[in-house]
Amino acid sequence: MTTATGRQIPDRLTSPLSRALKSWEALLLVVAVAIFIANSLASPYFLDPWNLSDASFNFTEKAMIAFAMAMLIIAGEIDLSVGSIIALASTVMGAAAAAGMGTPALVVLGLGTGLVCGAFNGLLVARFGLPSIVVTIGTMSLFRGISYIALGDGAYTTYPDSFAWFGQGYVWWVITVELVIFALAALAFGILLHRTNFGRMVYAIGNNATAARFSGIRVEKIRFILFLLTGLMSGIASICLTSRLGSTRPSIASGFELEVVTIVVLGGVSILGGSGSIAGVVLAALVMGLVTFGLGLLNVPGIVMSIIMGLLLISVIALPRLWTMLRK
């Protein structure tokens, strides 16, 4: 990782309009629209509102986590344990449901488990100064491992009827509960990152943590809060996913971390930290959702889609670098 991180000062100011047109987000929007048109031409079933509503499940749960992950990556950290947090939270909720608890208690437990897991990651990274990659590789094993201890090869399949609302309910017409949660989360994280002091501090830490500390930012505290937020969003995603599937196995949401990181990176967030936007992440989630839905309509198997995700993740980062390399 020998990339130069120095910044260049442009010799001419660009107008806000041309900058917006050339931005990564604009490119993503064009891609999303193109895929949308291509899909509606490729399959007659694509434009059906109910189909599109069903397809939104492809990205809503992952995107909820991606918002928090985007802030974490902008701050120069990463959390690979999100899929395992979902598994553990789902297991806790499943055990509670089996013990006869009602929906409100399940929601509290799901959110609580997410927060505890996030706090655990945050404590190890922020308080003890351990590298987040290894910490979360460790907790990725630990959290899902606890699910395996609790469940083995079994499953929890009984949930209260009212619990199904989160993953299967509709707020109005084809608008699912998950879509509403997704939109609210996008709004909340957009405001948090782009309109508050907290958001500015996150960028500052990602660009230069030492300088941020010397300018009075409490770096550890912010890092801890970011891990807490990622845990919380994983808890919410776990409630949605568990409610939608109606069952819990220890292998639930395996590989989510890859797709969440892919959404974040596709959304134009620098993997080295310091730059990125929530709007980009929203668009990237839509692109991912449209691609998977379109491929699904064409009967492409899931594992082939995961190859495409892997290629997408690498090429999104590689192509701009190749481009600048070739231009030199």
Partner 1 sequence: MSILKSREAILAFAILALLALIASRFPGFVTPGNLARVLTDTSPLILLALGQMAVILTKCIDLSVAANLALCGMIAALMNGAGVPLPLILLAVIALGAALGAVNGLMVWKLGIPSIVVTLGTMTIYRGTIFLLTGGAWINAHQMSEGFKAFPRTIIAGLPVMTWIALAVVAGVAVLMNRTALGRAFHAVGGNPHAAVYTGISVGRTQFAAFVLAGALAGLTGYLWVARYAVAYVDIAGGFELDVVAACVIGGIAIAGGSGTVAGCVMGALFLGIIKNALPVVGISPFWQMAISGAAILVAIAFNATSQRESGRIILKQAEHRT
> What does the binding site for partner 1 look like in residue numbers (CB under 8 A)?
1-3, 78, 124, 128-131, 133-135, 137-146, 148-149, 151-153, 209-210, 213-214, 219-220, 250, 255, 258, 261, 265, 271-272, 301, 303-304, 306-307, 309-311, 313-314, 317-318, 321-322, 325
Least separation in angstroms between CB 149 and partner 1: 6
Closest CA to 136 of 219, 240, 252, 256: 256
Closest to partner 1 by CB, 56 vs 139, is 139
Closest to partner 1 by CB, 18 vs 324, is 324
Least separation in angstroms between CB 145 and partner 1: 3
Least separation in angstroms between CB 35 and partner 1: 20
Closest to partner 1 by CB, 27 vs 130, is 130
Query: What is the three-state SS of the chain?
Result: CCCCCCCCCCCCCCCHHHHHHHCHHHHHHHHHHHHHHHHHHHCCCCCCHHHHHHHHHHCHHHHHHHHHHHHHHHCCCCCCCHHHHHHHHHHHHHHHHHCCCCHHHHHHHHHHHHHHHHHHHHHHHHHCCCCHHHHHHHHHHHHHHHHHHHHCCCCECCCCHHHHHHHHCEEECCEEHHHHHHHHHHHHHHHHHHHCHHHHHHHHHHHCHHHHHHCCCCHHHHHHHHHHHHHHHHHHHHHHHHHHHCCECCCCCCCHHHHHHHHHHHCCCCCCCCCCCHHHHHHHHHHHHHHHHHHHHCCCCHHHHHHHHHHHHHHHHHHHHHHHHHHC
Closest to partner 1 by CB, 199 vs 206, is 206
Least separation in angstroms between CB 12 and partner 1: 28
Closest to partner 1 by CB, 139 vs 243, is 139
Q: What's the token pair of residue 86?
A: 């979902």
Least separation in angstroms between CB 13 and partner 1: 29
Least separation in angstroms between CB 124 and partner 1: 7
Closest to partner 1 by CB, 56 vs 113, is 113
Least separation in angstroms between CB 231 and partner 1: 16
Closest to partner 1 by CB, 56 vs 262, is 262
